[in-house]
Amino acid sequence: MNLKRILKNSITAIVFLFAIAGFSQSHNAFTLQLETFYAKIKEQKSPQIIDARGTEEFLTNHINGAINFNLESKSCAENIARLDKTKPVFVYSIRSGRSGQLANELLKNGFSEVYDLQGGIAAWMGAGKPFYSNSKSKLTLTEYNKIIAENKTVLVDIGSHYCGACKKVKSVLETINAEHGAYLKILEIDLEDNPQLIAELKIVKIFPTLIFYQNGKIVFKKEGFNNLKKEVDMAFAH
């Protein structure tokens, strides 16, 4: 009797687990790396690309051919209704927060093929893919290289005004500058001011990206700022 009960409970548990797995798969968008995301877009004659950032961010720069709306838009439901459910939808934001939320909302509304770009706009522009910008970079690649060449030690911070993680880097940079400022040049590069430079560097995959140079050579490159102060201290110790 106990054996039958154990077998019955085991079968019930397995069925339940499969049900959960099926539900999770049907309610989660596919997060794609840049080249796969780009290749799938190229397969479409008129790709449905959605920029899930705010209007101001979108007007400053965006992927060529993208339209702009997010879950906070008053017209979000209307915008979703205008999309073709029989075709893939490609979404992106700065990282994956807003685009991930929008992607899952699209799936709930009956879209079966939704792709979210890993690394967001940073990955796209950092690889030099086609984009629109309403302004030219304040800093050229030539000027950037000159700064690296003329300063023995440089810490480059690449991010966006609208990136939450990027804002948190600033306090760490202040601490680093207070301790090493006499021997260190800190160069801050924001997407909104230097889109072409970020594209030309071809080194950015996510915001924030930190690059530490000594004597014109990269000592380390970080995606995110965890242990940044520790790694800078170690670089100076050597």
Domains, the chain, in order of start with CATH, read 2-133 (3.40.250.10), 141-237 (3.40.30.10)
- Has residue 91 got a pLDDT over 90? yes
pLDDT of 9 reads 53
- The mean pLDDT of the chain is 89
Specify which residues 89 forms β-bridges with.
48, 114
Among residues 53, 50, 55, 25, the alpha carbon closest in space to that of 37 is found at 50
Instruction: For residue 118, give the nearest of 133, 87, 97 by alpha carbon.
Output: 97
Q: What is the pLDDT of residues 37-76, one digit of tens each?
A: 999 999 999 999 999 999 999 999 999 999 999 999 999 9
**Which pLDDT tens digit goes with each residue over 3-34?**
555 445 554 444 334 333 333 344 456 999 99
Q: How far is CA 106 from each of CA 65, 77, 92, 103, 183, rounded to the nearest angstrom?
A: 19, 10, 13, 5, 51
The stretch 169-192 carries a mean pLDDT of 96
Token readout for 177 is 């500058």
CA–CA gap between residue 227 and residue 233 (Å, rounded): 10
pTM: predicted TM-score of the whole model, two decimal places: 0.84
Residue 96 confidence (pLDDT):
77
